[in-house]
Structure 1
């Protein structure tokens, strides 16, 4: 069996930079939840326009990065991947109309991991006894999260965020065969901009975003999405697969902390217990798979 252990302080400087970049990427991903919730709660902007500005600004910064690297913008990616990206971004934004930051991030993350694990099972991966118990615990935590006396969020919003997570899982799975990840992501963001613009036109209700709404959306697109993905892809080249997967467990935690600090959201004991069951079960799944002979 093969296992990976790390001692950060004994790493070469190059490896320390990899984990530092990964940490920045996780902060950026959590920042997407925080910026979206801030925009919809404390600024004047609707979910459709937030989605459009986020995707278009992300496309611009990714295009700039591609050009600076000497690549040709818009040649990679696909319309199907762009559609999955758009469904994720739109479902994410509309769900955050009524979900607190931490709960939204946890639902999103859980759905992403469930999609990718389900894909592996569909293609013949076997579960150990420990993994079976872990997935049952995660599912029980997910069900509890949606039920009284736990979070019991509005069901339409919870389903939207779950759909967003499934779409992101599909996008991630398709991205594994997409070649250069930066080129593919840039091309997909460019194509997804067309879907987002159409959504804004269809749902246009005469409401113009205010300055802070636009700032939050651009911040989400440029920093938390475009630069965040670019940093993450740079880190992935030097990370063991299990470390990359488990580091993503930190995203709902960072989002929860941000929600408490910037939005005054409370973390209740039932939410903590349910999220521990979900994230703990996923962690066991990842580690047990990594240690299989």
Structure 2
């Protein structure tokens, strides 16, 4: 296999993993046999186990080669709480939101958060970028307006909150020199917050086989291994190409939702989704992105 083919295959697997997070969460929670708090805790726990295991294996390889592994890292409690807030909001939203709509809401909220913080820090946009931002905002508004296509407002707000949390997580981790190690540490540090969420929902805790499988797959495969794959290809893709490629994640989630979960896409959601993605694409084309984006946002890699 050539280097170019390997890069394309690894990139495709990472993007599929990000889209799979939406699908797995909706699959696990749609029937009501598993509650959002349990799903969140299992997902974060599975991700922490996989990433901690990968770090242990890497440390052994470093020691065998006579090199010192990275034991300090930049992961911290602030980032760990943002990771937990993203995962919890994501789960609470997908109790009532379809995979496609949820992916669009998350993706739009992540990008809006990062853009607005960039503006607050002094970044400037050209007129075409402002037009793109306005188009994406109108698409998001159309998605939320009351009607047959609109998701429940409470669930939509949870997903937007998850997007804000992931945007902050991505911005805080931009300077990481070892993103895989930092992500592993943040997953481990998120577990006390997940335990607190479980304690707050003791009366409603429930886990069925469908939920358990979905949560473990989401945490261990779509999140844990998905992030590792994405970080492997990021240096070769470059930030702008990586950001552009991630525009494929919501359509992938939508297609999977239709084919595998029997969801429907009406004209309103299709047009709103197209407006959101087109607007974000216009903004991204004119932005100078950092060199260490964080998965799964437009400057990284997910979601989703």
TM-score computed with the length of structure 2 as normaliser: 0.88
Which segment is superposed worse, 89-98 or 38-47? 38-47
Does residue 1:133 correspond to 2:122, yes or no?
A: no
Q: Distance in 2 between matches of 1:168 and 1:223?
A: 19
Q: Please list the CA deviations of residues 94-137 of structure 1 after superposition, one character each: whole Å capped at 9, or x if unmatched.
A: 01111011000000000011111112211211111111111111
Q: What is the aligned-residue RMSD (CA, Å)? A: 1.8
Q: Distance in 2 between matches of 1:264 and 1:250?
A: 20
Of 261, 274, 277, 1:276 maps to 274
3-state DSSP of counterpart to 1:205: helix
Say whether the 8 Å CA contact 2:93–2:156 is kept in structure 1.
Answer: yes
Q: Distance in 2 between matches of 1:44 and 1:74?
A: 40
3-state DSSP of counterpart to 2:123: coil
Q: Which runs of 5+ in 1 are unaligned?
A: 1-11
Q: Please list the CA deviations of residues 28-73 of structure 1 after superposition, one character each: whole Å capped at 9, or x if unmatched.
A: 1111111111111236210000000000000000011111111467
Say whether the 8 Å CA contact 1:73–1:186 is kept in structure 2.
Answer: no
Which residue pairs with 2:13 in the alignment? 24
Which residue pairs with 2:241 in the alignment? 243
Runs of 4+ in 1 over 3 A off after TM superposition: 71-76
Q: Distance in 1 between matches of 2:215 and 2:24?
A: 7
Aligned residues between the structures? 280
Closer, same or farther: CA 99–290 of 1 in aligned 2, 3 Å: same
Closer, same or farther: CA 128–254 of 1 in aligned 2, 3 Å: same
Which residue pairs with 1:55 in the alignment? 44
TM-score computed with the length of structure 1 as normaliser: 0.91
3-state DSSP of counterpart to 1:209: coil
Q: Which runs of 5+ in 2 are unaligned?
A: 60-68, 290-304
Say whether the 8 Å CA contact 2:30–2:94 is kept in structure 1.
Answer: no
3-state DSSP of counterpart to 1:44: coil
